Each structure stands twice: as structure tokens, then as C-alpha cells.
Structure 1
């Protein structure tokens, strides 16, 4: 049966219009106004306003804080871009830093990742000591007890934090924080300093210090952490280890920021 209506081309389909808007906005570092989108894509202004309203409501776009009339990529799209910064890529980038820190400190260092609702270590470096067996790539981190877990948790939204923690906080040791109000207060301080401490909260006799990888506009998914016996981590070397964790996080954050903007060729960094 034939139809008198013209066949809809791919450029006329609603989904294609949404994608074209996202592609245009993603190519502009400072975003675009609805009028600019309409002009560039040759679409009626009412149509563009409807498209950007829907994309904003879904979290794919948001109004720029610097230029209120301009739209920029929203948290959901940025989250997808962040997922492109794969664990294997970050493992390659962080390996020299982890190995250097491990040699200098005599403690184990690792990078943890938040993925699929879990926080786990993805790469590590350790001296040939008893702590080498403590960090295993892929091993889960208890979010409310481990230093790397708390470092990431502190930067999540309340809804994301609630989803990750679940209804009840499990007590692992006498030092584990199990009251959510207390944990919220603790995480505010962690976020302020971008420094998390685990003092025998997940395993008696062990401690850890972690700092999250924080980038502009992208969700926090990674943290760098040093762990070992409590005496080694929270003893005389504590301040030095805290500074190393923060400097390592800053270095990796800068590389991750460039990676997420698509400006970095990983192979060139490794040469």
C-alpha cells in the first residue's frame, strides 16, 4: 500500500535531530544558544526550543554557568564520555607514578575506579614487602570504609551516594563508620581537602590515604591511594604520603581532563 506522505529522511527523524543538536553543542567549548543551534542546523526555532528542553530535562544538556543563555553538555553525556577514559588507559598513565611512589615510600599504591555501581582497584605498584599481597587489581573497595572509596564517594551526588551505599552500612571493624549522618559529615571534610583517610576501618592493623581525580565538569570516577600497615601510613611519614597522594591525583587529573577533551594521544605520553 502506497502513501502520499513523503518518505522521511534520516535527517528529518526526531532522534537524528537530537543527535545533531548534541554533536553541534559538543564541538563548542563554551556551548551554544538556541538561536545558534537553530541557525547552524537550519531548524525552526520552536523545534530547537523543544529539542533543547527535552535534552535538558533528561540531563543530556544543561545551561552554562558562565553564559546562562548557552547550552553545554550535561552530566549524563559527560558520564558517557568519562566512560571512554578506560581503566586500561588510566592504568598505563598511572603506572609510572605508582611505581615511583611505591619506591619512594615503601608502601603499596593503587588506582581505584567506580564502575557499574562498584569501586575496585584497577592497577597497583608495591615494593617487595608484606603489603604487596594486600592490593589485588580488581579487588572491591568498601565505599564507606576504604580510603579510595571515601575519596570517590565524597564527590558523588546524594542520589549516587545513596545508590552506592545501599540501605545499611556494614561494620567491618570497631573503627568503621556505620551511621550515615556521621559518614555525611566525614565526607564533607574529605571533599573539602580532597583527602580521605582509612584508619583501620576496613581491616585491623592497616591504614590508607587517598585522593580523588577531580576534573572540570566531569563526574569523579577514580582515586589514587596508598595503603599499608597503620604504623607505616599514619606514622611519621603521614604528611609526606598525604602530599604524594594529592600531587599524584593532581597529575592524573590533568591527564584525564585532556583525555576527556579528546586532546591527548596516550601513545605520545608513554614515549
Structure 2
């Protein structure tokens, strides 16, 4: 009896080099704490020499990285992470319940933003007041120099963006390069950023960083926004509330459930 074309092609597919590279990448995305080369050999049932060759090739392409301080464990690399983190729907789903609880406690719109490539964007939001929440609706791009999220995540970045020709949204918008650099330095020192009618007149916002594990870059911010006077009257309380909640969101954003490699 003849085997189907699909069935006869399966062993060849599993043995091809490209398939082996893909299986290693799939495996590492499932284990946030990384894997040793020996563990990868065991899970994929491949020879040590083959695994070492594949790992070296993937590492040379920045698709994976090895942390020598953690016993040589392998993790997903910066090029692969750019692909993995380009989609944000999972963040909305994973953070919805806690974000809703935070919004109810603060009595303000609460949201998560992130820095991705050259933009700052809102990725999750829960609001008791839709008229305020519209400004941080998921998918909304935020000007880096005129919003609390933009200033915070820019301040935490390794390289600052150009500071010429920035748009003025209100009389409070900072567009002077020297003043902006000083503001970013103050944010790095204090660990939070505020916005007072700089982007939207009458709106006040405060944002703190979400520090995810051992990641060198801070790419997520947790904030709340509402009428400026109300937010600023409770600024210390709001900062404390956000800082306490940020650790819970950090745990959520770094979770990756192990899955079968088969």
C-alpha cells in the first residue's frame, strides 16, 4: 500500500536543518528562564555536536543569546524578540483583570504603554470614564515628548531621539532641547513621569516603569490618567499605588508557559 505524499514527506521535514533551527526557536520561546544546551539536546533528541552547531549559528544571527552568568543558558535573542513582541493582543488579555482592579481602586483610567522600535504606544487600558480613556486606547501612538509614558520610556532608553522640530500641542508642551534633556534626567532620577496638559489640555497623567526580570531595557510603563487637578492633588498616593501594582504586571508580562516541543 502506497503512503500519501504528506506522510512520506514528514520524516524528511523533521530531518532538514531549517526545521531543526525552528524547533530550537520554538523551544526557547516557551521557556523564559532559558535552557542549557544539554537540556535542548534531551528535549529535541539531537546529538550534542548538532545542537552546538545550530546554537552557534542562531547566536551569530542574534536570534538567540547565551547568558554566561547563568551557566550558559540560552534565551531568545533581540532579533527574535522584535518579532515576538510586535503583536500586543496577548498583553490586553493577560492584564485585563488586574488593570480593571487597579482602575477601580484608583478611580481613574489605568493603562499600560510600551516602547517598540521608534514609537510609544498604548497596549492595554481599563477605564471608569470612557471620555478620558480615549487618549490611551490600545493602539494609540503617544508623542514621546508630550506624554508621561513617552517621556518615561524615552528617559529609560539607551539612546535619545532627535529633539528638533517637535510639535507643540499646548502652551505646556516642552519642545526646547535643553529643557527636555533636563526633564528626562529628572525622570531617570525619580523613577516616574508626570504630564500636565502637555498633550491634552486639562488632562493629568502619571506613569511608572514596569521592570521585567533581568531585561536591560525598560519598555513598559504603567500609568493612570484623569482630570489634571484631581490626579495631581493625589500625586503621591497615585505614584505609590502604581509602583505597588507594577511588580504584579511585571510578573504577568514575563510569563511564558512551557509547551510541548514535539
After TM superposition, is the score higher than 0.5? yes
Match of 1:197, SS? strand
What does residue 32 of structure 1 align with?
36
Alignment correspondent of 1:75:
78
1:209 matched to 2:206: yes
Distance 1:75 1:168 in 2: 31
- Secondary structure, aligned partner of 2:97: helix
Of the three residues 132, 135, 138, the one matched with 1:134 is 132
**Structure 1 gap ranges (5+):** 1-6, 264-271
**Counterpart check, 1:56 vs 2:54:** no
Give 1:221 deviation, angstroms: 4.9
**CA separation of 1:80 and 1:204: change in aligned 2, threshold 3 A:** same
More displaced stretch, 133-142 vs 23-32: 23-32
Q: Is the 8 A contact 2:35 2:75 kept in 1?
A: yes
Describe the superposition over 1:155-211 as per-residue Cα deviations: whole angstroms up to 9, x where unpaired. 4443xx64xx79743222333233556545543543454311113321344321111
Give me the CA root mean square deviation.
3.5
Q: Which residue of 1 aligns with 2:194?
A: 197
Give the CA deviation at 1:148.
Answer: 2.2
Query: SS of the counterpart of 2:199?
Result: coil
TM-score (norm 1): 0.69
Alignment of 1:18 with 2:13, yes or no, is no
Measure, in 1, the Cα distance between the counterparts of 2:102 and 2:93. 15
Query: 1:227 pairs with 218, 225, 228, which one?
Result: 225
Could you say if the C-alpha distance between residues 10 and 183 of structure 1 is closer, same or farther in structure 2, counting changes exceeding 3 Å? farther
The separation in 2 between residues aligned to 1:18 and 1:71, in whole angstroms, is 14
2-side partners of 1:242 and 1:36: how far apart?
43
Aligned length: 240
Report what 1:171 is aligned to.
168
- Give the SS at the match of 1:71: strand
Q: 51-60 or 241-250: which moved more?
A: 51-60
Q: Give the deviation of 1:20 after TM superposition.
A: 2.9
- Residue pair 2:205, 2:231 contacting (<8 A) in 1 also: yes
Instruction: State how far apart, in whole Å, the 2-side matches of 1:184 and 1:32 are.
Output: 42
Kindly provide the CA deviation profile for residues 214-271 of structure 1, in whole angstroms up to 9, marking residues without a partner as x.
2114565543222233332223x221111112122222222333xx2228xxxxxxxx
- Residue 69 of structure 2 is matched in structure 1 by 66
Give 5+ residue unaligned stretches, structure 2: 1-8
Of stretches 85-94 and 174-183 in structure 1, the one that deviates more from structure 2 is 174-183
TM-score by length of 2: 0.71
Distance 1:65 1:170 in 2: 44
